[in-house]
A and B are shown apart, each in its own frame.
Chain A
Amino acid sequence: MENFFEDFRDNLLEQYDTCPAYKYLCDNQGFDPNIHLNKEEDMESVPFIATTLFKKSAQMFTSLLRVPLETIDKWTVSSSTSGDPSIVGRRKCDLMQMERFNELNRGIFQPGSSQECVFYPEPEVMKSYKSEMIYGKRTESYMGNLLDSFHFNEDAIFFVKQKGNELMVDLGEFKRVIKTNDGLSHHLSLRGSTPLIYNAVNELKDEMEPVKLGANVLVHTGGGGWDGKKGTITMDAAIQRKDFVECVSQFLGIPEENFIDSYSFTENSFPITGHYSPKYKDYLFHIPKWGQVIIRDIKTLKPLHNPGDIGFIQMLNAYGTSTFAGASIIVDDIGQIVSMDECPDCKEKCMTIKIIGRVKGAEAKGCGATLNVEGEKQ
């Protein structure tokens, strides 16, 4: 992981050679990485794959493998708010890369806090939740695999428990933990799903006084859910990042500066992490040197380079996608460039972006028919 461009080029060349579907896309756009990918600027011309191609309904996920199907270890699947999860084949080597990314983020994630409190189920529970067999390989929640790569302390408390087929939040346990630590400034980390944490805090606000956990607590959210939807959780409205931070910060007595959020998705490999900036009232995501993000104009799809520019997020992966065609992925999320070279808040030298949210839409219902063939099949 010394030279991102060289490693990305190697990864892409291999993807071009080993994934006929990706080669087909490239050929269609007149792009041959052997010829056209020679310098860093050329990365902006690299064809991308839309995340929706990995959806179960698209039935394309086997065509997006770079290795024979029988050699993959598992299918990692998204949480599927829509009921149509993404399915991405992965091998151990790619999953181990996730652990390496976590290691590289040690300074930010602060593993090994005296007490880790997690608003997700235990990794093994999460991985096997609603698991099924596809082409003889087990599906596992991508989030479960991310949690697995985290290596939580043995005494980590997981507030989400499985009861039958349902996952339930143990609010009583959360209440006990925060009461126990009230006013003690213990080294704690509160990690997990944004809507779950938000819901839990809002529920407790009705039944107890705020606590003061102090400045040694890290609140690390991840896995999305800002639009108010995550898996089977549906809230009335999207969660405003500022509202979330202010609400949780005030109720638990944790400084706003201690909030971080990680962003990634099943079809991608490296997560990006943002720290909350009270000045910007938003999370500012740093693009690490082991990955690259391109923000593309919504109309022209051309790469954007100026602070304030808003567009689709494309992620370039040099590592961790050796099993599937994940080297260059465009996702239906919108991002905004904050700076191309330095975080204006903490001054770290890196591209910095904000995540605006998911692209939403639907055709107006009208006299032009939509056939809804999938619906007919059910």
Chain B
Amino acid sequence: MRIEYTCGNTALSKNINDLNLELIGSEENEIINEINKLRANTIKTHDLPLQYTIDLLDQCGKLWLNREYSKKHVEILSHILSQSKELVIYELEHTMQMLLKENLEKTIKEELGTKEVLDTWVNTGYGKVHRQPRGVIFHNISGNAFVVVPTSISMGLLSKNCNLVKVSGDEPYFAYAFYNSLCEIDPSIKDRLSVIYFNSEYSNIYKTIVKNTDCVIHWGGEHSGRMMGELCAKFDNHLIMHGAKISFEVIDKINNANHTADLIARDVICWEQKACLSPRIVFVNKNLDTKQLAQAIADKLKEYTSILPKAYLNPWNSMKIIQDRQYCLLKYGVKKQQNVELYSSYNADYTVILNDSLLDKEDIDRCFNRFIFVCPYESSDEVLEYINNNLKSYLQTMGYSGDNEEFIEKMTLLGVSIVTKPGDMSIHYPGTSHDGFHNLQEMTYVVSRQL
């Protein structure tokens, strides 16, 4: 399948899970031309009423929520992501709900106070306030969870910026398809949105882009994030950093083990734990029946296997789980002589490891594709200490069941930026902060008038 982005003439073949893709990538000069085109449209973009963009995104969301329309995209995404179609549909529909008018309006109101502030000057105690776009924003998109694409693009459009979006080689399809659907509704979107691809190894292109744009929003891995940070610092470009995060759940009090297990299982399944908001560890108060809960989580994961199955398009996904499962079992159970209980399928469908001590940091990297550690704790300070020692710089979402306000306060002080109920970790309510800030705020300047 040939994927032609907004610009570019350089074909690059890629095989993802036996799907042959021909990505038409861009050279540096083509990208400069694209940035110049976007820059020439910044005033025009600024002058578009916000409602126009809200209506456009709303129509686009509805288009994707039509299963007939999204069917072929679901099939392709399922293949590229090695996720079952059922899971892709589940994720896609949650993602597209976010674009519906009522949700966009709530988001803007929560983030910026009023919708009007993006269109005009709004009265304040000191005079008037207005939100102005930064200009041309570069979106560096990751390939692990496609929710990032509409999130980043919609925020860029709502904030009246012009947007240059670079897709990931790991998942080069969804941004392209989403862009095309916007073009179907309004071809003039091309004036303020470009989707491109280039080989990430050409770091000079990144340098050129950062030098010639006004803001960078980065979603992705630690290495690329560090590189973008250095470039933005060098060229004094505003950086909105999302990425390289780890999330977890803390179960301090529960009413019903089965119900809680059901919610945890849903959190684990979404994005096959590859998103920043996916739980990798479930910390459970030792006063609870930890064995019962671990077993219940496994039972629920088994139950969901028939509703939201795994795809198994890549043998590695299967083999890696088997290897990691055996490794962890023997490492903790035999080498470290700890009390380990394994609740898993025979195959790689799901793995729940209940360990009587907290896991080694290195094993957090194994927690993908329905592989989770359940770690009992004596006191909440034990969890705090573990998080502080191991995950402080990676914190994002904490699924929490309990009523210890002091603990929530301490965890958020440590760096947790979203606290949700179990089962809600992947649900971003309109207006919820993201990694400690609001994207619409970051993508705009607050300008004041004291006339």
Asked if A28 is an interface residue, CB under 8 A from chain B, the answer is yes
Q: Mark A350-367, 1 if CB is under 8 A from B, else 0.
A: 000000000111111111
Asked if A373 is an interface residue, CB under 8 A from chain B, the answer is yes
CB distance from A86 to the nearest CB of B (A): 12
Number of A-B contacts (CB under 8 A): 150
Asked if B432 is an interface residue, CB under 8 A from chain A, the answer is no
Asked if B278 is an interface residue, CB under 8 A from chain A, the answer is yes
Flag if A366 contacts B142 (CB, 8 Å): yes
Flag if A364 contacts B168 (CB, 8 Å): yes
Flag if A299 contacts B330 (CB, 8 Å): no
For B310, the chain A residues whose CB sits under 8 A away are 299
A146 to B174 CA separation, bound complex (whole angstroms): 50
For B346, the chain A residues whose CB sits under 8 A away are 29, 300-301
Which B residues from 283 to 324 make CB contacts under 8 A with A?
A: 310, 312, 314-320, 322-323
User: Which of B219, B319, B348 is in CB contact (< 8 Å) with A359?
Assistant: B319
Cross-chain pairs A/B with CB under 8 angstroms, 20 sampled: A21-B330, A25-B326, A28-B329, A29-B346, A60-B331, A312-B318, A363-B144, A363-B274, A364-B143, A364-B144, A365-B170, A365-B221, A367-B145, A367-B148, A367-B242, A367-B244, A368-B275, A369-B245, A370-B222, A374-B362
For A52, the chain B residues whose CB sits under 8 A away are 323, 327
Flag if A298 contacts B312 (CB, 8 Å): yes
A361 to B315 CA separation, bound complex (whole angstroms): 8
CB distance from A331 to the nearest CB of B (A): 9
Which A residues from 51 to 106 make CB contacts under 8 A with B?
A: 52-53, 58-60, 63
Q: Mark B354-367, 1 if CB is under 8 A from A, else 0.
A: 00000011101100
Asked if B64 is an interface residue, CB under 8 A from chain A, the answer is no
Which residue of chain B is the closest to A298 with respect to CB atoms?
Answer: B315
Residues of chain A at the chain B interface (Cβ within 8 Å) = 20-21, 24-25, 28-29, 49-50, 52-53, 58-60, 63, 298-301, 312, 330, 332, 334, 359-374
Asked if B273 is an interface residue, CB under 8 A from chain A, the answer is yes
CB distance from B221 to the nearest CB of A (A): 4
**Size class of the contact patch on chain B:** 35 or more
User: Which of A49, A60, A369 is in CB contact (< 8 Å) with B246?
Assistant: A369
CB distance from B298 to the nearest CB of A (A): 14
Asked if B181 is an interface residue, CB under 8 A from chain A, the answer is no
Asked if B368 is an interface residue, CB under 8 A from chain A, the answer is yes
For A312, the chain B residues whose CB sits under 8 A away are 315, 318-319
A371 to B364 CA separation, bound complex (whole angstroms): 8
Flag if B331 contacts A366 (CB, 8 Å): no
Asked if B227 is an interface residue, CB under 8 A from chain A, the answer is no
Flag if B145 contacts A371 (CB, 8 Å): no
Which residue of chain A is the closest to B221 with respect to CB atoms?
Answer: A365
A24 to B335 CA separation, bound complex (whole angstroms): 11
For A25, the chain B residues whose CB sits under 8 A away are 326, 329-330
CB distance from B172 to the nearest CB of A (A): 11
Residues of chain B at the chain A interface (Cβ within 8 Å) = 81, 142-145, 148, 168, 170-171, 219-224, 242-246, 271, 273-276, 278, 310, 312, 314-320, 322-323, 326-327, 329-331, 333-335, 342, 346-348, 360-362, 364-365, 368, 394
Which residue of chain B is the closest to A52 with respect to CB atoms?
Answer: B323
Flag if B246 contacts A368 (CB, 8 Å): yes
A164 to B104 CA separation, bound complex (whole angstroms): 67
Among A53, A312, A367, residue most surrounded by chain B Cβ atoms (within 10 Å): A367
For A59, the chain B residues whose CB sits under 8 A away are 335
A63-B334, A367-B243 are known contacts; what are 13 more A-B pairs with Cβ within 8 Å? Answer: A50-B322, A50-B327, A58-B331, A299-B347, A300-B346, A301-B318, A312-B315, A363-B144, A364-B170, A368-B245, A368-B368, A371-B365, A373-B365
For B326, the chain A residues whose CB sits under 8 A away are 25, 49-50, 53
For B315, the chain A residues whose CB sits under 8 A away are 298, 312, 334, 359, 361
A366 to B310 CA separation, bound complex (whole angstroms): 20
Flag if A372 contacts B244 (CB, 8 Å): no
CB distance from A21 to the nearest CB of B (A): 5
Flag if B329 contacts A368 (CB, 8 Å): no
CB distance from A27 to the nearest CB of B (A): 10
Among B143, B144, B334, residue most surrounded by chain A Cβ atoms (within 10 Å): B334
For B274, the chain A residues whose CB sits under 8 A away are 363-364, 366, 368
Among B244, B245, B360, residue most surrounded by chain A Cβ atoms (within 10 Å): B244
Which residue of chain A is the closest to B317 with respect to CB atoms?
Answer: A361
Which residue of chain A is the closest to B322 with respect to CB atoms?
Answer: A50
A279 to B189 CA separation, bound complex (whole angstroms): 56
Given the known inter-chain contacts A21-B330, A369-B246, A373-B362, please indicate yes or no for A332 contacting B323, CB distance below 8 A. yes
A149 to B263 CA separation, bound complex (whole angstroms): 58
A359 to B246 CA separation, bound complex (whole angstroms): 27
A373 to B368 CA separation, bound complex (whole angstroms): 16
CB distance from B399 to the nearest CB of A (A): 15
CB distance from A336 to the nearest CB of B (A): 12
User: Which of A20, A50, A364, A370 is in CB contact (< 8 Å) with B323?
Assistant: A50
User: Which of B142, B329, B361 is in CB contact (< 8 Å) with A373?
Assistant: B361
For B320, the chain A residues whose CB sits under 8 A away are 361
